[in-house]
Structure 1
Amino acid sequence: MTEETLFTKRLIIVGAGGLARMIYSWLPDFSGYQEAWEPAGFLSDRLDDLQGYDYELPILGTIGDYQPEPNDQLVMAIAEPRSKLSIGESLERRGAKFTSLIHPTAIIGKNVKFGRGCVICPRAVLTCDIRMGSFVLVNLAVTIGHDVRIGDGCTINAHADVTGFTELGIGVFLGSHAVVTPSVKAKDYTKIGAGSVAIRTVPPGISIFGVPGKRIN
């Protein structure tokens, strides 16, 4: 075994759907590519997820059957909050180690803190004094204002705007172009639909849609 092999990590993407394919396509942009780590493949319980797509790397096996190796680093590429939190917890109980990926075109301001297993996509803007939990996805061109708190497992989809002093609980899902207005709280496992605007506190487990956002079944 060479010295290079000893220090090069295998990067494994958890998931093989659209988000996973997006992350894979950006991997050459990230620091460490083919130096500190090498992409190895995907994990998915749907072994035909890549059928019909032209990707060099395979699905290595199912998430349920995966047993971590000491040289593995995992990237969470599942958007649905409850699923990714459950899967992340299960994998970590087996000894898996998650890394966070921050795209070099993202703008990260002062005093921004991340948990493990986060993905910050291209052209996202995180201003300052932000606290973010683990397994958070900040998708393309998202803007997060100052003094924001974001809980574990949140998914913030493309072009969403999370404004200053807002608070997202555990597992909050924001659709593309959603807006959370200043100082508003979205409680655990709430959903704010695409293009919707939250102007007041959203109770736990509630979905809202529209401008302003109203509760939907």
Structure 2
Amino acid sequence: MNNAIIIGAGTHGQIYASYLAEEGINVIGFVDDNEHLFGQNVIGIPVIGKVKDLANSNIKSRARSIYCPIGNNTLRQHYLMDSKKMGYETPSFFHRTAVIGPDVKMGEANYVLAGSIIMPHTTIGDFFMINMSTTIGHHVQIGHGVFMSSGVNVGANLIIEDHAYIGIGATIMTGLGTIGKGSLIGAGSVVIKTVAPNTVVVGNPAREIPKK
């Protein structure tokens, strides 16, 4: 039996628990730093400790794989890298209805949910996560730790750098150049030009706003 633990007992974690069970993966528990959840059952699955408790031998002996479907790009990458150092496997998860084209190159611990499409000749780094019904065009280069929400449309021939966060329903035009490292694209935005690193853009057409 492939026993697994999910980091994060929030809504994303609950969704992935259901999808993993559908694929025959036995989720034995969540770990979560919210102390109010300790000892509780979330959708029938126990919260067995904090994230740091993954290092405990009694937990390591029970599970082989770690999944971390949380939206915070930096934390997701950090937790998965630490889990791998502890000796856990950090597999990818591709929903059975996702369409990943030929010649797509993908790193490790990538998560692609239902109805999403990745066109050929796209390169994706590690710790990538996309929700439902998102489309990524051909010849796109995507870095590490990128998150795309549901209904995102990414055009072709562009670069999305590490830790970019793209909100629900955003559209990124073909060939615009680069979506910079650590940038945030607001929900419903239409991006028609390069986005600088560590900036927030919103609207149609997307414009930069102060980052809080």
Same-fold call, TM > 0.5?
yes
Compare 149-158 and 53-62 and name the one that shifted more.
Answer: 53-62
- Counterpart selection for 2:36 from 48, 57, 78: 48
Structure 2 unaligned runs (5+)? none
Mark the CA change 1:147 to 1:65 in structure 2 (over 3 Å): closer, same or farther.
same
Alignment deviations for residues 186-210 of structure 1 (CA, whole Å, 9 cap, x no partner):
0111000000011111111011000
Distance 1:47 1:22 in 2: 21
Q: CA deviation at 1:60?
A: 1.7
% same residue: 25
Q: CA deviation at 1:78?
A: 0.9
Mark the CA change 1:49 to 1:126 in structure 2 (over 3 Å): closer, same or farther.
farther
Structure 1 unaligned runs (5+)? 1-7
Structure 1 SS opposite 2:67: strand
Mark the CA change 1:108 to 1:40 in structure 2 (over 3 Å): closer, same or farther.
same
Alignment match, 2:200: 207
Alignment match, 2:97: 105
- Counterpart selection for 1:59 from 47, 51, 61: 47
How many correspondences in the alignment?
A: 205
After superposition, residues 26-175 of structure 1 pair within 5 angstroms as 26-30=19-23, 33=24, 37-49=25-37, 55-67=43-55, 69=60, 71-175=63-167
Distance 1:116 1:75 in 2: 11
Q: What is the root-mean-square deviation of aligned Cα atoms in Å?
A: 1.9
Question: Would you identify which runs of 4 or more consecutive aligned residues in structure 1 move more than 6 Å?
Answer: 50-53
Tell me, yes or no, if structure 1 residue 22 matches structure 2 residue 15.
yes
Mark the CA change 1:81 to 1:56 in structure 2 (over 3 Å): closer, same or farther.
same
Distance 1:53 1:124 in 2: 30
Q: Say whether the 8 Å CA contact 1:166–1:180 is kept in structure 2.
A: no
Normalized against structure 2, the TM-score is what? Answer: 0.90
Q: Which amino acid aligns with 1:76?
A: C
Normalized against structure 1, the TM-score is what? Answer: 0.88
Q: Say whether the 8 Å CA contact 2:135–2:151 is kept in structure 1.
A: yes
Distance 2:138 2:125 in 1: 16
Distance 1:126 1:137 in 2: 12
Q: Say whether the 8 Å CA contact 2:40–2:47 is kept in structure 1.
A: no
Q: Say whether the 8 Å CA contact 2:54–2:60 is kept in structure 1.
A: no
Structure 2 SS opposite 1:74: strand
Q: Say whether the 8 Å CA contact 1:118–1:137 is kept in structure 2.
A: yes
Compare 93-102 and 184-193 and name the one that shifted more.
Answer: 93-102
Q: Which amino acid aligns with 2:188?
A: G
Q: Which amino acid aligns with 1:78?
A: I
